[in-house]
Amino acid sequence: MRFRLLRRRLTISAPRMAVRSNLPWPLRWALVAIVLGFCAAIGLWAFEFGRDIAGLDGGRTDEVKQLRLDITTLKDQVDILREERDKAVSMANTASMMLTAEKASQDKLTQQIRQLEDQNRSLRDDLGFFEKLIPSAGGDQLAIRALQAEVVNDRLKWQVLVIQPAKNAAEFNGHLEVTLNGVLAGKPWSSALAEGSKPLRFKQYARLEGLMELPSQVQVKTVTARVLDGSIIKASQNFSLKPVN
């Protein structure tokens, strides 16, 4: 019988046992309160530590305010510098436009000066031409008042002014011959206009001009102009060209 009781206690079929604490309930609640207070203290410490790191504690409030003031001041300075930059850019653009306008004005003035110089040259030529129309003391006979010639790009440019100084002079009907004399390849050379003589018909004055192609390496020394009435020479004049270096 005793063996059976002992075997029942030592085998699986033995009855369950319950282990109970001997601490009373008030002491248990006190331990729980202590643990909760400890956890709360740790949480408060962590919160304060985080505030210290972030600079939100009461001891750094003045520093934070100063930093905010500095940031505001820097923003104002940036705005001022930006406005000054915009003004400088605007002034630079205005100055560039003024320089462009001034350059355009200078170019226009230069062009006008060139035009005035050309007009002045033309007026001087016209003045010289009309001065040649003034009757000379030589009488009222037909005369060649001006003969000019120059070589330009292997071409001879010539101009002749013929005048009848007499008042109410009869109309002249004749022709003009232009002859060139010079040297070609070390030998004497002469030539008339390629188109021949020029018809000449006028009462008071006539101005004729033209271009003549020159042979290569020719050097023109003199140009002779003759006004003929049929086969009779009415007037003649020579013009000497300056040698070309």
pLDDT in tens, 149-166: 888 888 889 999 888 887
Owning domain of residue 96? 51-132
- Calculate the alpha carbon distances from 239 to 144, 174, 191, 224, 236 in Å: 12, 21, 15, 6, 10
Give the pLDDT of residue 186. Answer: 85
pLDDT at 59 over 80: no
Whether residue 65 sits in one domain with residue 114: yes
Q: What is the C-alpha separation between 227 and 237, in angstroms, rounded?
A: 9
pLDDT band of 49, cuts 50, 70, 90:
low
Q: What is the C-alpha separation between 210 and 195, in angstroms, rounded?
A: 10
Whether residue 232 sits in one domain with residue 150: yes
pLDDT at 180 over 60: yes
Whether residue 203 sits in one domain with residue 125: no
pLDDT at 10 over 80: no
| Pair 221, 240: CB distance under 8 Å | yes
Whether residue 115 sits in one domain with residue 59: yes
**Residue type (1 letter), 240:** S
9-13, 21-25, 102-106: lowest mean pLDDT where?
9-13
Whether residue 197 sits in one domain with residue 147: yes
Give the pLDDT of residue 52. Answer: 63
Given 89, 109, 132, the domain boundary residue is: 132
Q: pTM for this structure?
A: 0.46
Q: What is the CATH number of the domain that holds 192?
A: 2.60.40.730
Give the pLDDT of residue 22. Answer: 58
Identify which has the larger pLDDT, 170 or 50: 170
Q: What is the C-alpha separation between 193 and 152, in angstroms, rounded?
A: 16
Whether residue 160 sits in one domain with residue 106: no
Number of domains in the chain: 2
pLDDT band of 100, cuts 50, 70, 90:
confident
Give the pLDDT of residue 85. Answer: 85
pLDDT in tens, 66-89: 778 888 888 888 888 888 888 888
Average pLDDT over residues 181-208: 88
Closest CA to 228 of 167, 169, 162: 162
The alpha carbon of 131 is separated from its chain's Cα centroid by a whole number of angstroms, namely: 48
Average pLDDT over residues 59-72: 74
Name, in order, each residue with C-beta under 8 angstroms of 182's C-beta and a sequence gap of 6 or more. 188, 189, 190, 218, 219, 220, 221, 222
Give the pLDDT of residue 139. Answer: 57
Give the pLDDT of residue 143. Answer: 87
Whether residue 168 sits in one domain with residue 110: no
Whether residue 82 sits in one domain with residue 55: yes
Given 110, 132, 154, the domain boundary residue is: 132
User: Which percentage of the chain shows pLDDT scores above 90?
Assistant: 11
pLDDT at 225 over 90: yes
Name, in order, each residue with C-beta under 8 angstroms of 198's C-beta and a sequence gap of 6 or more. 175, 176, 177, 178, 208, 210
Give the pLDDT of residue 179. Answer: 92
Average pLDDT over residues 202-206: 86
